[in-house]
Amino acid sequence: MLFASRNFYCLGIRTYQLQRDSLSRSIKLSASATMAFRHKNTRRIEGLDSNVWVEFTKVAADPSIVNLGQGLPDISPPSYVKEELAKAAAVDRLNQYTRGFGHPPLVKALSQVYERVCGRKIDPLTDILVTVGAYGSLFSTIQALIEEGDEVIIIEPFYDCYEPMVKMAGAKPVFIPLRYKNNGNSASSADWVLDPDELANKFNSKTKAIILNTPHNPIGKVFTREELQVIADLCIKHDTLCISDEVYEWLVYKGNKHIKIAMLPGMWERTVTIGSAGKTYSVTGWKLGWSIGPQNLIKHLQVVHQNTLYTCPTPLQEALAQAFWIDYKRMDDPDCYFYSLSRELESKRDRMAQLLQEAGLKPVIPDGGYFMIVDVSTLNVDLSDVDEKEPYDYKFVKWMITSKKLSAIPLSAFCGPETKRQFEKYIRFCFIKKDSTLDAAEVILKNWNKQTA
Amino acid sequence: LPLVKASNSLSLSLQAKMSRPVQAQRLEGIDKNIWVEFVKLAANYSTVNLGQGFPDFPPPDFLKEALVRALSGENHMLHQYTRAFGHPPLVKILAQFFGKLLGRDLDPMTNVMVTVGAYQALFCCFQAFVEEGDEVIIIEPFFDCYEPMVKMAGGTPVFVPLRLKAPKDGKLISSADWQLDPTELASKFSEQTKAIVLNSPNNPLGKVFSRGELELIADLCVKHDVLCISDEVYEWLVYDGKEHIRIASLQGMWDRTVIIGSAGKTFSVTGWKVGWTVGPNRLLQHLRTVHQNSVYHCATVAQEAVAQGFQRELELYGKPDSYFIQLPKELQQKRDWLVQSLDAVGMKPIVPEGTYFLVADISGFKSDVPDVPDSDEPYDSRFAKWMVKNKGLAAIPLSAFYCGAHKNNYNHFIRFCFAKEEATLKAANDILQKWKQEKTSP
């Protein structure tokens, strides 16, 4: 009898005869002792077990630490959003299953909002899929459209899940960094750009998709029309799909406009656009997101969805639908939450930038999103004695958490292996925080130089 | 000249690309879904929906109150991300509760993981442990998602049927009369067998596997070093004083079993989509890897409320006020009512030992829906569609729970869900009575 190599570990003996009552206890016991090898994980998840969040959210969970790390608001969601959830949960049938691809009132509301934004017809049943957060949309899109043999272009720094998701689908991530163009003025996210020739060289016949994130996490860059056109031209030329992660679409600051790449000529049919309730309404814990695109792409995401979790929670979808109607009706009004949140965050952004500058740091002012990156090498904190093979920014953040009681996220977590060195002097702060949190950060930053002097 | 060459090769590779389908191969053969079709039919035609499995009665008050408390409290952070592998209050109480049931010390951080319904728990198991070259044994009839999930993971499903033993004269068939043939089961295990999926209590039949039957499966798992994915979502819904036995508590099984549970079924809130896995860290670590790379977090506020629900049940465990005692008591009555209803009109029910499903033999009603020779569609599927369109009564064909090759083996049964208000079951009875009268009157 031939044994598969993986079975060889177990004593070298495997019996396959039918032994019912005569199966001896000792064989049972020895089989259980050596069964570790057989229950290996699949290849698709090999090497995907570590995760920056699991590491840093644990460390920052200490309430005495001012947490500007993980991207979650500590401000309250708007009261009407919370009220709608209470109302929805009080309706008995809204506590049972709803339509798998998206609760009808929600997909209807989404189609209305986005028809307005996009200026094109969006069919709520065929062009939209509701998922468990934008995260779930990314997963559904990648599982639906990406496989072994494919290459996927990822712009660095990138929201960290893109790389493992592409790998889990069996495909090869191809990285291209945003590069800082030093023009002498105070750093803005707009100074970080793609080199068009470098980008063009990344495309080949295997390129199945490019993942775009605008507004960008972590830098806060809002891609301009011209920059999007460069990407679009390449997508069309190489018949490449575009996965456009636009979760921060409403968080765009003065002087900037969020442009949807799907609206550029030739792009609707090849783009899946992803949005997030968590980021739109400051309810990250609701874990609702959506994918919008042409039926011929969305239908495949729906197949993934029906074979992974089937349906998303009903009361949350109902509440979200109602919240969207409230804001849809006032999309011409500056009080619409889509715009008021952005204004609120702009002043927090400016305050955060000022605090960092006063501490002698040079933050990159974001044009969008609620993150800000800063070069900490200017502080000259010597961590060479820290006996770790970790990049500098990991060591810095851990040191900052323990000695300054302030947390952030190291930027090299958002980079491919080749560029980690380039970005290891940056850390990322989240500023969607209430005033008291920013006050506490201010105290730490003001005292920073005093302590290290 | 080089320019022309370059553009030629570009257009050739473009042509090659455009001739390939845009979707990934892993979706092959898994695009069809019975629910999409039957849920739509029920929505369009049914006046009485005993099809899809969800209660039409309200969730228990204590759970609704728990959610209200969570929402009205000071802590608005319940609207933000919680711990990815499970909201701490929930994993703690699950570890306590299931630790008690299994007689083990469970670590909430490593022996429990919360998922988006039991559905996502199943997905994590297949993605974590099944790949090309692996076989997975599935007992028919089965909850329909097992097969496409195994296929999506690149695995090969191997089916083994529960077989109906000759019914005793005059007695109603019980789900206990559907049994595995031990020799047949053993023959399904091969070198390639990575896992077996067990669903007890079983959807759609309602079978509650006995200790002897579980030992049979356990022995084979141990002997062949196979994983057991144990879908126990209906664990509390067992009738007639039967006991739900957890296979993980059998000799040699804890280390190779992932137990799957569901708040939706436990607390009658299918729309909350909160599920969990319980098992050894050695297995759960890989589920965590899949989870953190697919959905990452589950909604916080529902987890908070479910945690409080379990807290209450832990305190009331074994007492008459326990929802885990009240709910099966109520459902047993509904079961008996529906059994009577069906039996009275000539649809022969298989009395379920558990779950809130009941399968009935509709051979007696065949005159209404004549056989169509050479039809692709199994008889029971045509019957169920005819029934919902013409009688307004929705049910699910049993063939939906069989693999393609076996869909015609048991094609004269339909599945009813009886987790319904008395009014709904009465209305179903009215339809059935009227139907029978129409058949018997000249």
* Digit-coded pLDDT (tens) for B370-405: 888 888 899 999 999 999 999 999 999 999 999 999
Across the interface, whether the CB atoms of B252 and A168 are under 8 A apart is answered no
Residue ranges per structural domain of chain B: 31-59+323-436, 61-316
Q: Are A184 and A129 in contact (CB under 8 A)?
A: no
Alpha-carbon distance A435 to B115, whole Å? 34
Is pLDDT above 70 for A326?
A: yes
Evaluate whether A387 touches A270 at the Cβ level (below 8 Å): no
CB contact under 8 A, B79 and A241: no
CATH number of A50-75+336-447: 3.90.1150.10
Q: How far apart are CA A238 and CA A233, in angstroms?
A: 9
**pLDDT at A55 exceeding the cut of 80:** no
Find chain B residues with C-beta within 8 A of A86's C-beta. Answer: 68, 71-72
Inter-residue long-range contacts of B99-104, CB under 8 Å, 24+ positions, other chains counted? B100/B314, B100/B317, B101/B246, B102/B246, B102/B248, B102/B249, B102/B254, B102/B278, B103/B249, B104/B254
For CA atoms B246, B248, B249, B253, the dihedral sign is positive
pLDDT of residue B9: 61
Range in B36-40, B177-181, B279-283 with the lowest mean pLDDT: B36-40
Closest CA to A376 of A426, A421, A424, A420: A426
* CB spacing of A303 vs B23 below 8 angstroms: yes
B218 touches chain A (CB under 8 A): no
The residues in B 319-338 lying below 8 A from A, measured between CB atoms, are none
| Both structure tokens of B218 | 């356990």
Inter-residue contact B87 to B77 (CB < 8 Å): no
Closest partner residue to A313 (CB to CB) among B13, B130, B302 is: B302
Q: Which of B36, B117, B282 sits opposite A309 (nearest CB)?
A: B117
Instruction: Please state, for a pLDDT cut of 70, what percent of chain A lies above it.
Output: 89
pLDDT class of B442 with cuts at 50, 70, 90: low
Q: What's the confidence (pLDDT) of residue B3?
A: 53
Q: Give pLDDT tens digits for A267-319.
A: 999 999 999 999 999 999 999 999 999 999 999 999 999 999 999 999 999 99
Q: Residue ranges per domain, chain A?
A: 50-75+336-447, 79-329
B344 in contact with chain A, both atoms CB, cutoff 8 A: no
Q: pLDDT tens digits, residue range A168-194?
A: 999 999 999 999 887 655 589 999 999
Interface test with chain A among B10, B22, B256, B420, by most A beta carbons within 10 Å: B22
Is the distance from CB of A412 to CB of A52 less than 8 angstroms? no
For A307, which of B23, B76, B149 is closest by C-beta distance? B149
- Chain A's closest residue to B82, CA to CA, is A285
Q: What distance in Å separates residue A103's CA from the closest CA in chain B?
A: 11
Interchain contact, A45 vs B127, CB within 8 Å: yes
User: In CATH, what number does B31-59+323-436 get?
Assistant: 3.90.1150.10
Which residues from B are below 8 Å from A39, CB to CB? 129, 227, 256, 282-283
* Cβ within 8 Å, pair B81-A72: yes
Q: What is the 3-state secondary structure (H, E, C) of chain A?
A: CCCCHHHHHCCCCCCCCCCCCCCCHHHHHHHHHCHHHCCCCCHHHCCCCCCHHHHHHHHCCCCCCEECCCCCCCCCCCHHHHHHHHHHHCCHHHHCCCCCCCCHHHHHHHHHHHHHHHCCCCCCCCCEEEECHHHHHHHHHHHHHCCCCCEEEEEECCCCCHHHHHHHCCCEEEEEECEECCCCCCCEHHHEECCHHHHHHHCCCCEEEEEEECCCCCCCCCCCHHHHHHHHHHHHHCCCEEEEECCCCCCECCCCCCCCHHHCCCCHHHEEEEEEHHHHCCCHHHCCEEEECCHHHHHHHHHHHHCCCCCCCHHHHHHHHHHHHHHHHCCCCCCCHHHHHHHHHHHHHHHHHHHHHHCCCEEEECCECCEEEEECHHHCCCCCCCCCCCCHHHHHHHHHHHHHCEECEEHHHHCCCCCHHHHCCEEEEECCCCHHHHHHHHHHHHHHHHHHC
Q: Which of B61, B75, B79 to mutate to test the interface with A (most CBs of A within 10 A)?
A: B79
Give the N- to C-terminal CA distance of chain A in Å, as an integer. 74
Mutation target to probe the A interface, by most A beta carbons within 10 A, among B54, B81, B253 is: B81
Q: For residue B25, which residues of chain A lie inside 8 Å, CB to CB?
A: 147
Cβ-proximal residues to B66 (8 Å cutoff; 6+ apart), any chain? B304, B305, B306, B308, B309
pLDDT tens digits along A339-369: 999 999 999 999 999 999 988 888 999 999 9
- The answer to whether B355 and B237 are in contact (CB under 8 A) is yes
DSSP summary character for residue B200: S
Res. A403 pLDDT band, cuts 50 70 90: very high
Residue of A nearest to B63 (CA): A89
- Chain A residue with minimum CA distance to B25: A147
**Mean pLDDT, rounded, for A11-18:** 34
Quick one: pLDDT band at residue A389, thresholds 50, 70, 90?
Answer: confident
Instruction: Please check whether residue B255 is in contact with residue B233, taking contact to mean a CB–CB distance below 8 angstroms.
Output: no
Q: For B263-280, write each residue's pLDDT tens digit.
A: 999 999 999 999 999 999
Work out the number of other CB atoms within 10 angstroms of the CB of residue A33: 11
H or E stretch at B324: helix B323-345
The CA-atom distances, in angstroms, between B195 and each of A191, B20, B133, B258 are 53, 33, 12, 11
- Chain-chain contact of B117 with A310 (C-beta, under 8 angstroms): yes
Judged by a CB distance cut-off of 8 A, whether residue B219 touches chain A is: yes
A108 CB burial (10 A radius; 0-12, 13-18, 19+): middle
Going B148 to B149 to B152 to B157, the CA torsion angle's sign is negative
Instruction: Inspect the interface and report whether the beta carbons of B23 and A314 lie closer than 8 Å.
Output: no
Residue B183 has pLDDT above 80, yes or no: yes
Q: Residue B5's pLDDT is what?
A: 55
pLDDT of residue B38: 93
Contacts of A307 in chain B (CB under 8 A): 30, 123, 145, 148-149, 152
> CB A32 to CB B64 under 8 A?
no
The first and second tokens of residue B245, run together, are 């036995």
**Residue A13 confidence (pLDDT) above 60:** no
Token pair, residue A17, equals 């005869």
Q: What is the mean pLDDT of residues B174-181?
A: 97
How close does chain A come to B53, measured CA to CA in Å? 9
Q: Determine, for residues A97 and B270 on separate chains, whether the beta-carbon distance falls below 8 Å.
A: yes
* Residue A427 backbone zone (phi > 0: left; psi -120 to 50: alpha; other: beta): beta
Size of interface A-B (CB pairs under 8 A): 247
- Distance set, CA A297 to CA A228, A294, B26, B313 (Å): 21, 6, 15, 45
- Is B93 in CB contact (< 8 Å) with chain A? no
CA distance A364 to chain B (A): 26
Query: Which among B80, B127, B295 has the least Cβ separation from residue A132?
Result: B295
- Is pLDDT at A384 greater than 90 in this prediction? no
Closest chain A residue to the Cα of B120, Cα to Cα: A309
Burial B8-39 (b: 16+ CB within 10 A, else e): eeeeeeeeebeeeeebbebbeebbebebeebb
Chain B residue numbers touching A200 (CB-CB < 8 A): none
Nearest-CB residue to B295 (from A35, A38, A136): A136
Indicate the pLDDT class of residue B1, thresholds 50, 70 and 90: very low
ipTM (interface predicted TM): 0.95
Q: Give me the mean pLDDT over the B321-333 stretch.
A: 98
Of A17-21, A234-238, A434-438, B128-132, give the lowest mean pLDDT range.
Answer: A17-21
Distances (CA, A) of A98 to A193, A312, B3: 43, 8, 56
Taking an 8 Å cut-off on Cβ atoms, the answer to whether A139 and B123 are in contact is: no
User: Residue B419: pLDDT above 70?
Assistant: yes
Phi and psi dihedrals of B258, rounded to 5? -110, 120
Chain B CA closest to residue A269: B22
Mean pLDDT of the region B271-296: 97
Q: How confident is the model at residue A10 (pLDDT cuts 50, 70, 90)?
A: very low
The neighbour count for residue B345, using CB atoms within 10 Å, is 19
Interface of B with A in 293-312 (CB under 8 A): 293-302
CB contact under 8 A, B58 and A303: no
A96·B191 Cβ contact <8 A: no
Please say whether the beta carbons of A140 and B23 come within 8 A.
Answer: no
Report chain A residues whose CB lies below 8 A from the CB of B181.
Answer: none
> Cβ A28–B252 below 8 Å, yes or no?
yes
Average pLDDT, chain B: 94
CATH 3.10.129.10: does it fit domain B61-316?
no
Task: Compare CB distances from B286 to A45, A85, A90 and report the shortest one's residue.
Answer: A45
Q: Which pLDDT does position A51 carry in this prediction? A: 83
Least CB–CB distance from A86: residue in B27, B71, B81: B71
Query: Which residue in B149, B271, B295 is closest to A96 by CB distance?
Result: B271
Kindly list the distances between the CA atom of residue A324 and the CA atoms of A69, A412, B356, in Å, as whole numbers in the listed order: 29, 36, 36
Q: How far apart are CA A392 and CA A424, in angstroms?
A: 6
Interface test with A, best of B17, B80, B145 (most A CBs within 10 A): B80
**Which tokens belong to B274?**
């909160």
Strand order from edge to edge, sheet including A371-375:
A362-364, A371-375, A426-430, A409-410
- B90 inside 8 A of chain A by CB: no
Token pair, residue A194, equals: 């793609």
pLDDT for res B367:
87
- Count CB neighbours of B363 within 10 A: 12
Give A434 or A420, the one with higher predicted confidence: A434
Q: Closest approach of chain A CAs to the CA of B252, in angstroms? A: 7
CATH for the stretch A79-329: 3.40.640.10
End-to-end CA, chain B = 88
What is the pLDDT averaged over residues A224-232?
A: 98
Nearest chain B residue to A138 by CA distance is B294
Q: What distance in Å separates residue A299's CA from the closest CA in chain B?
A: 9
